Structure 1
Amino acid sequence: MSVGIAWLLRQPGLGLTLRGGRTGKERPIGFVQPTELLDPRPWLSGGELVLTTGLGLQPEEGGDYVRRLAEAGVAALGFGTGLSHERIPQSVLEAADAVGLALLEVPYTTPFAAVSRAVTARLAEQQYELVRRAADTQVRITRAALRGGVAAIVRELAVATSAAVAYLDERSGEVVAHPEAAAELAEQISELRRDGAGSVTTSRPGRTLTVQPVTHAGLVSGHLAVQADRPLENVELVLIGHAVSLVTLELDKPRRLRAERNALGAKAFGLLVDDVLDSGDALEYLADAVGARNRIRILRLHTPAAADVRRVLDTGLGARQRPLYARSGDEALTVLLRGEDTLSDVAALLADLAPSQARTLRA
């Protein structure tokens, strides 16, 4: 956030006038620093509007003084007249034009505090506007996620930050980008990934790139990259974090849907086993788990580690695009299988069991 010199000159209560350094009038002001030091460079960081009355400044020293400020990267110099100097020294005027440092005359009737308050108030307005815009954007990105998934999240984030955004799915290699040219960011993501980097931000003149990992089930499933031609604002970084969270939820949606479907099927399976639901009615709920000609097999496993065995079966069946319909009892697990499933198929499903769990297992 910054204040433009042109905006400051338009404030009627301040009465500021641009007297020199017109080529530098587009520089943004980050904050105001009043000082009467003849060499304030050790206390400057760049981007300041330096305010001075020139106390102790001799007319012939004006050139060196202005050049020191320009060297420190200040945005502009506000020279107060009517106190130490009736008018801005000619050496200051000439040096400001030479180095392109905007030179503002601050009249005697305008306190430096008034200039500081005006800049501070404007920066606060900008901060509020950024926060308000971020809140509105979070709502838009969330709504977009509900309608269009990852692609919509990427698009809304790109529009909100005026940046190039790309998401790289590490499993499929698929890239979702906005605008389309942002797809080239995938190469940079891959390069960073080979270096073992997680969350990383790199900056150079005219470019800022931030790459954030998207984790799902404890593993990095993808990376979201945002590239802008300027430093990213803090509020924009918040939006990026929000987008990463939404992408994570979107990736988790199939798992949650599977869990809900498994829970519903397990209830129907339990009613079938208990002879509460006849096979014809049960088929409506269990059709995606049965085999050819609607035949089934029921696997009954005895183990003190039923929960662990269930997780292994769920992983194995999920990898085969099949649901897990099962019920747990006292150290027992009853599972619905297809009619054509064999003992070899069951062994393959249970192959990932830990040796200690396998030793306690009886079918």
Structure 2
Amino acid sequence: MEPSAAPTLRTLLSHAELRLSLVTPEDALESDARDRGVLDTGVLDKEVQWVHNSDLVDPTPFLSDGLLLLTTGSQLGDHDERAAADYVARLVRRGVLALGFGSGVHRQGVPDELIAACTEIGLALFEVPYDIPFLAIARVHAGAIAAHAYARRTWALEAHRALAVAALRPRGLESALSELSRRLGCWVGLFDASGALAHQHPSSDSEQTDAVAGEVAALLGRGGSASRTVEDGTEAFTIFTLGRTGQLRGALAIAAAALDPETRAVVSSVIAMAGLALEQNEQLARARRRLRTQVLSTLLTDDPAPARRVLGSLPPAPVVVAVAETDRPGTVIDWWDRLDGGAFVAESPEVLVMCVGASQAGMLDRLAGRFALRIGVSDAVDYAAFSRAHAQALTALRRGGAGVTRYADATSGGVLDALDTEEARLLARSRLAPLHADDPATGADLARTLRVWLEHDAHSEHTAAALGIHRHTLRTRLAHAGTLLGTDLSSFPARAELWAALHAAGSGV
């Protein structure tokens, strides 16, 4: 639906009234120069920025890229192949697209040495008849530029009108993005704040969209408002962030590299529209998150009835409860909502809480990998045990490492492993402090003596042998330790408490 392309050398050659003739045939140029790796194919279809004429030996200081140069050849010597080759090489290095030779002014016809030089290096060369002034060529090209500019402005106005109409339809933002894709004639994708693809038109293969999503995620990760052009194999994409610096709401990706002013203006209007729509969506999302936090408080009472009345439904039991620490709870919740997998996700003051059907628990691994989260997961339970499952998930999170830690794995070491908390260590070390206070004076190493004694089931002879001391010395130490601790070590409860304290205090005790 875009207007015709900008004027090129091919369109200029097609003007019958100018009677321009290509001296270096396109097929011959491509086949001959491609073998030498010097021809930029499609030279006749490149946009011509302007038409200029000069008979200087070296006009390059006065030229710009993308020009079509006209000359009468007065600066070229007769049959001077070296001069012709050097002249053409200078033009190509400067970015001249094509050379027009005015025949009949100084030379009848185009010189053979100039044809050979242009063919060799891949510069298009055409002949201008004697009765066609250079000014006529410049005037025709200027008219083509003006017509193209008018067509572009007309296209932009129509595109703006069509986008405004599309925005009024249901799901207005998605309709506007699809309309933009049709107007540009290329793929358009909308990514959310997490870098996940939220909408695309037309549908594209996952390999392509995954490559673009990686670039989008990197751009969003920097947190600044920006645009960037990236290449993916043979295709190029332009990416625009949506939202303010520090509060990015997503990104818009377009399968196009160079955008002219009219296209950029149309895209800018869609960017503004998308930013506003996403900001409004964020406000609604914050309200929904507050509601879910309240629903979570009712679930923690082990009564799912109020939650079902508010939400309409919950994940089918049995369920697992998961908790995660994240500084981007809104982004994670949006990701879950987009999956529409029937999960319940809510924020609590310290963690993000998720409730999913036991059969869908594998999604938690995917979540952890995508957002680099630590997640604790409970055993499968019914809603009547939701609070217990929540406590299990917190324990798994506290004791787990990177990724997903399940409660069953976190507690596989036994009851004593549950003492591996800072509070338990502090209490245990305080309880055993009298032993350490006494050791420097006596050198008895009472804590180690007690540990070895308990490891040998309170068997005096085996313990004495392991410590390399006499059993009477061992009895003396045990009695002294009992006095310091204020406990009777002959009873099992005292020994059990001592063993737990030594375990919780750590290997350094």
Instruction: Name the TM-score, length of structure 1 as normaliser.
Output: 0.64
Q: 1:214 and 1:143 mapped to 2: Cα distance? A: 22
Q: Does 2:166 match 1:144?
A: yes
> 1:82 maps to which residue?
104
Specify the SS of the correspondent of 1:128: helix
Displacement of 1:218 after TM fit? 8.9
Whether 2:128 is the aligned partner of 1:109: answer: no
Partner SS state of residue 56, structure 2: coil
2:8 aligns to what? 4
Post-superposition offset of 1:249: 3.7
Q: Partners in 1 of 2:71 and 2:143 — Cα distance?
A: 21
Q: 2:277, 2:222 → 1: CA distance?
A: 27
Task: Tell me, yes or no, if the aligned pair for 1:212 and 1:223 is still in contact at 8 Å.
Answer: yes
**Aligned pair in 2 of structure 1 residues 94, 108: CA closer, same or farther (>3 Å)?**
same
Structure 1 pair 62–164 and aligned structure 2 pair: CA distance change class (3 A): same
Correspondence for 2:260:
233
Other-structure match for 2:60: 41
In the other structure, the counterpart of 2:248 is 220
User: For each residue in 1:1-25, what CA deviation from the matched residue of structure 2 results, as whole angstroms up to 9, or x when unmatched?
Assistant: 6323232122132121111253343
Listed as ranges, the gaps of 5+ residues in structure 1 are 259-290, 293-318, 321-363
Q: Is the 8 A contact 1:79 1:106 kept in 2?
A: yes
Task: State the partner residue of 1:135.
Answer: 157
Amino acid aligned to 1:12 = A
Q: 1:194 aligns with which of 202, 208, 221?
A: 221
With over 3 angstroms needed to count, the CA separation of the structure-2 counterparts of 1:203 and 1:234, relative to structure 1, is farther
Closer, same or farther in 2 for the Cα pair 1:92/1:112, shift >3 Å?
same
Secondary structure at 2:254 match in 1: strand
**2:269 — aligned with what?**
242
Residue correspondences, number? 261
Question: Relative to structure 1, is the Cα distance of residues 208 and 183 closer, same or farther in structure 2, using a 3 angstrom cutoff?
Answer: closer
C-alpha change, 1:135 and 1:256, in structure 2 (3 Å) is farther
Are the counterparts in 2 of residues 21 and 100 from structure 1 also a CA contact under 8 Å? no
1:46 touches 1:72 (CA, 8 Å); kept in 2? yes
1:178 aligns with 2:222: no
Amino acid at match of 1:134: A
Q: CA deviation at 1:172?
A: 9.2
Encode CA deviations 1:124-179: one digit per residue, 9 max, x unaligned. Answer: 11111111111111111121121132221221122222232221121695521222
Amino acid at match of 1:195: R
CA contact (8 A) 1:208 1:231 kept: no
1:41/1:203 Cα in 2 relative to 1: closer, same or farther (>3 Å)?
A: farther
More strand by share: 1
Deviation at 1:116, TM superposition (A): 0.7
Inter-partner Cα distance in structure 1 for 2:261 and 2:85: 38
3-state SS, counterpart of residue 110 of structure 1: coil
What amino acid is aligned across from residue 68 of structure 2 in structure 1?
L
Tell me the distance in 1 between the aligned counterparts of 2:86 and 2:70: 16
TM superposition outliers: structure 1 runs of 4+ over 4 Å: 171-174, 203-208, 252-258
> Is the CA contact 1:79–1:103 (under 8 Å) kept in the aligned structure 2?
yes
Query: What letter matches 1:53 in structure 2?
Result: T
Q: Which amino acid aligns with 1:214?
A: L
After superposition, the Cα gap between the structure-2 partners of 1:90 and 1:134, relative to the gap in structure 1 and judged at 3 Å, is same
Percent identity, please: 29
Letter in 1 for 2:218: E
Answer whether contact 2:181 2:188 (CA < 8 A) is retained: yes
Taking CA–CA contacts closer than 8 Å with sequence separation of 6 or more, which of the two structures ends up with the larger relative contact order?
A: 1
Deviations 1:46-69 (A, max 9, x none): 321101111221130223222222
SS of alignment partner, residue 86 of structure 2: helix
Whole-angstrom distance in 1 between the partners of 2:131 and 2:17? 10
Q: 1:97 is paired with a residue of what secondary structure?
A: helix
* Cα deviation, residue 255, structure 1: 8.6
| CA distance, structure 2, for counterparts of residue 126 and residue 3 of structure 1 | 7
State whether structure 2 residue 122 is matched by structure 1 residue 122: no
Tell me if the contact between 1:214 and 1:222 (Cα under 8 Å) persists in the aligned partners: yes
Instruction: Give yes or no for contact 2:220–2:250 (8 Å, CA) kept in 1.
Output: no
Q: C-alpha deviations, 1:331-362, integer Å up to 9, x for none? A: xxxxxxxxxxxxxxxxxxxxxxxxxxxxxxxx
Paired amino acid for 2:240: Q
Supply the AA of the counterpart residue of 1:4.
T
Instruction: Give 1:250 shift.
Output: 2.9
What does the per-residue CA deviation read over 1:173-211, in whole Å, with 9 as the maximum and x for residues that have no partner? 552122222643222111112234422233669654332
The yes-or-no answer on 1:62 pairing with 2:84 is yes
What CA RMSD, in Å, does the superposition of the two structures yield over aligned residues? Answer: 3.1
The secondary structure found in structure 2 opposite 1:131 is helix
- Give the TM-score normalised by the residue count of structure 2: 0.46
What displacement does 1:240 show? 0.9
What's the offset of the Cα at 1:90?
Answer: 1.1
Q: Which amino acid aligns with 1:151?
A: E
Distance 1:196 1:58 in 2: 61
Alpha-carbon distance in 2 for matches of 1:136, 1:11: 29
The one-letter amino acid paired with 1:209 is: F
What's the counterpart of residue 361 of structure 1?
none
1:35 to partner: Cα distance: 1.4
Computing the radius of gyration over CA atoms, which structure comes out larger, 1 or 2? 2
- State the distance in 2 between where 1:172 and 1:100 align: 44
Structure 1 letter corresponding to 2:247:
L
